[in-house]
Chains A and B, each alone.
Chain A
Amino acid sequence: EVQLVQSGAEMKKPGEPLKIFCKGSGYSFSSYWIGWVRQMPGKGLEWMGIIYPGDSDTRYSPSFQGQVTISADKSIRTAYLQWNSLKASDTAMYYCARQVGSSSVNYFDSWGQGTLVTVSS
């Protein structure tokens, strides 16, 4: 069974750094793209970017390019989402999900449980 388990909720102050993780199991972690999705309080889903753990090829949404860094360590089957300096507007639930597809990787078939990030002074 494919499982993605995310790190726990975080409460941070503006300006602090943060790195959250997503650990995969039940499949060949290196061979599937992992994506990150933001959901701000009461709002919709936003695609942030994806990474291919096998070679760390990474793609970002223009909205998130330069704002976050997506990385992965295939040896421990873990993907990461990190911020160098958090802002209050980063307060949101963040989901990781496995992005798959028959011709192009175009949908998410398995999701993590989400990591709630709260940024407040």
Chain B
Amino acid sequence: QSALTQPASVSGSPGQSITISCTGTSSDVGSYDLVSWYQQHPGKAPKLMIYEGGKRPSGVSNRFSGSKSGNTASLTISGLQAEDEADYYCCSYAGSNTLVFGGGTKLTVL
């Protein structure tokens, strides 16, 4: 069970769109449409942003969207806002109720 691969950092200007990739294997991301994404601000607990590939919890802005192609899942944030600056983690189901996280991506809003 190896960690999923995410870029260490991404950046964008307010109003722009950014995409964070999350690459796994045929044993996790590629086998299930069960990728979730979490936002974590410094010193805070993670917050669920996307689940089961592309579903948004109540209260999460529709600027956040999720998708998948093959072994790679993606989180897209449109209309970037200063408050979106945070760390983002992907997480995939890996069978038998086990999960695996990505290494995390630091989003900087320029």
B34 in contact with A44 (CB, 8 Å): no
**Size bracket, chain A contacts:** 20 to 34
Number of residue pairs A-B, CB distance < 8 angstroms: 80
**A109 CB contacts on chain B under 8 angstroms:** 48, 51, 57
Instruction: Give the Cβ gap from A8 to chain B, nearest Cβ, in Å.
Output: 15
Whether the pair B89, A45 counts as a contact (CB closer than 8 A) is yes
Which chain B residue shows the least CB distance to A108? B48
Q: How far is the CA of A33 from the CA of B98 in the complex (A)?
A: 11
Q: Which residues of B contact A (CB under 8 A)?
A: 1, 3, 32, 34, 36, 38, 40, 45-48, 51-52, 57, 87, 89, 91, 93, 96-104
Most buried by A among B36, B47, B100, B101: B101
Instruction: Choose from A47, A95, A105 the contact partner of B45 (Cβ within 8 Å).
Output: A95
Interchain CB contact (< 8 A) of A63 among B1, B47, B57: B1
Cβ contact within 8 Å between A107 and B98: no
Q: Enumerate chain A residues within 8 angstroms of B102, measured Cβ to Cβ.
A: 44
- Bound form: Cα–Cα A31–B100 in Å: 22
List the interface of chain A (C-beta within 8 A of B).
33, 35, 37, 43-47, 50, 59, 61-63, 95, 97, 99, 101-109, 111-114
